[in-house]
Amino acid sequence: SLPTIFVITPTYARLVQKAELTRLSQTFLHVPQIHWIVVEDSPHKTPLVSDLLVKSGLSFTHLHMPTNKDRKLQEGDPSWLKPRGVEQRNEGLRWLREDRRAQPGGDNQQGVVYFADDDNTYSLQIFEEMRSTQRVSVWPVGLVGGMKYERPVIEGGKVIRFHTGWRPSRPFPMDMAGFAVSLKLILANPEACFDGEAPMGFLESSFLQGLVTMDELEPKADNCSKVLVWHTRTEKPKMKREDALQAQGLGSDPAVEG
């Protein structure tokens, strides 16, 4: 049988949340043997996300884990100041390790883990590329780091360096969307997680460092020559009219889920 792809997605409440999750869920509907682990950055699970997951038709697990207040980005902070989605990805990993331990049978270690932010754009092809991951597989990510794309550079089937706009000397100068890890490796390293205190740009490295060496990375997407995932970001909608109408008592009905 096909190895299951466990996708871990941090998500938080904002105007575009339902749109992002709708798009993502409808992408995943086209991917066979996928289990979606959605972790809300919230003190409780919200009805918006619960309903969306139930109606999606996907196999899913719904979790929540609020970001520690002093780790949360404040209004007006530059977006690079603090890493986002850290506690949520770690909570997804915690659930996965516990759930797999509880599964009977010999194939409870078979699978692949991928961290999919809710605002990126995913080609269906990337899921078929990652499905054969033995330890850690890697590929290019488009529209990231102030570049058209970043990618591992391959020679003789191995990663020899990274094409990146910034600090190529980082242990793993890759975006979250650019790698997948075998479930087996994650279960064999029960302490491996994301370090929210890691310096800027070192979040991915903090997780991968204990798991794999550069030499062991498995290039996908035609030796990392194809871009199959994009680090797209959604513009924050302007609410100028909404606010103006609200002041006159004519705002949108709060009972209608936006």
Residue 101 or 167 with smaller CB distance to ligand UDP:
167
233 binds ligand UDP (CB under 6 A): yes
> Quick one: CA dihedral 85, 29, 36, 224, positive or negative?
negative
Q: Which of 87, 150, 204, 218 is catalytic?
A: 204
The size of the chain, in residues, is: 258
- Torsion sign across C-alpha atoms 15, 16, 21, 23: positive
Residue 84 binding ligand UDP, by CB under 6 A = yes
Report the nearest approach of ligand UDP to the CB of residue 204 (Å): 11
- Assess contact for 68 and 43: CB atoms under 8 A: no
| Rounded Cα distance, 190 and 188, in Å | 6
Interatomic CA distance for residues 28 and 16, integer angstroms = 18
Are 95 and 156 in contact by the 8 Å Cβ rule? The answer is no
Pick the stretch among 6-14, 182-190, 195-203, 218-226 that binds ligand UDP (CB under 6 A).
6-14
Q: In the chain, what's the furthest Cα-to-Cα distance?
A: 67
Q: In terms of CB distance, is 33 or 121 closer to Mn ion?
A: 121
By CB under 6 A, which span of 25-33, 113-121, 131-139, 149-157 interacts with ligand UDP?
113-121
- Residue 92 binds to ligand UDP (criterion: CB under 6 A): no
**178 counts as binding ligand UDP under rule CB under 6 A:** no
DSSP symbols for 175-242: -GGGEEEEHHHHHH-TT----TTSPTT-HHHHHHTTT--GGG-EE-HHHHTS--EE---PPPPP-HHH
Residue 177 Cβ vs Mn ion, minimum distance, rounded to whole Å? 9
Contact between 164 and ligand UDP by CB under 6 A: the answer reads no
Task: Give the residue with the Cβ less far from ligand UDP, 3 or 90.
Answer: 90
Question: Minimum CB separation from ligand UDP for residue 25, in Å?
Answer: 13
Give the rounded distance of the alpha carbon of 162 from its chain centre.
Answer: 20
User: Residue 235 catalytic?
Assistant: no
Q: List the single partner that 206 binds among ligand UDP, Mn ion, none, CB under 5 to 8 Å by kind.
A: none
> Whose Cβ is closer to Mn ion: residue 112's or residue 143's?
143
- What is the nearest approach in angstroms of ligand UDP to the Cβ of residue 8? 10
- From the list 201, 207, 184, the residue with the least C-alpha distance to 96 is 184
Q: Give the footprint of ligand UDP on this chain (CB under 6 A).
A: 9-12, 41, 67, 72-73, 79, 84-85, 88, 117-119, 233
Supply the residues annotated as catalytic.
204
